[in-house]
Amino acid sequence: MITAQEISSFLPHKFPMLMVDRIIELESGNRVLAIKNVTINESYFPGHFPGSPVMPGVLIVECMAQTAALVFNPESNAALNGKFVAKPKYLVKIDQMKFVRKVTPGDQLVVEVRLFRSFAQLVQVSASARVDGALVASGKLTFSG
């Protein structure tokens, strides 16, 4: 298990933009399972939406993207057999993203990211987010170095 402090040392994101609280499974270069605890004191809830707080979909995607970045640590690059030389840094494309359920304060968002394919200087992952086992969002994300 990788804690928030360890995640913070790897990702360039810091509070309040760090969207991953814990890594519970990591298959370097292949798959990551992460947790984001959604709390009422998140800075966006007072305005999204007053009286009926909902986590913005764009922040669910950001959580997926940050989780994906944890697949691409130096050991992961070796696991890709040189197909991707540089560590991907930038989200360049979002495909087929679907949101099927609201995420509200008190939910624990479980994000799974799997390497889908790599080509040229791009890496594509499939990502899904669940709350209590129910699918919340899913799609594909593409990154470049």
- Catalytic residue set: 48
Q: What is the CA radius of gyration of the chain?
A: 15
Rounded Cα gap, residues 30 and 46, in angstroms: 37
Distance of CA 64 to the CA centre of its chain: 2
* Burial track 47-79 (b if 16+ CB lie within 10 A, e otherwise): eeeeeebebebebbbbbbbbbbbbbbeeebbeb
> What 8-state DSSP symbol labels residue 9?
H
Alpha helices, H only, the chain? 4-10, 57-69, 74-79
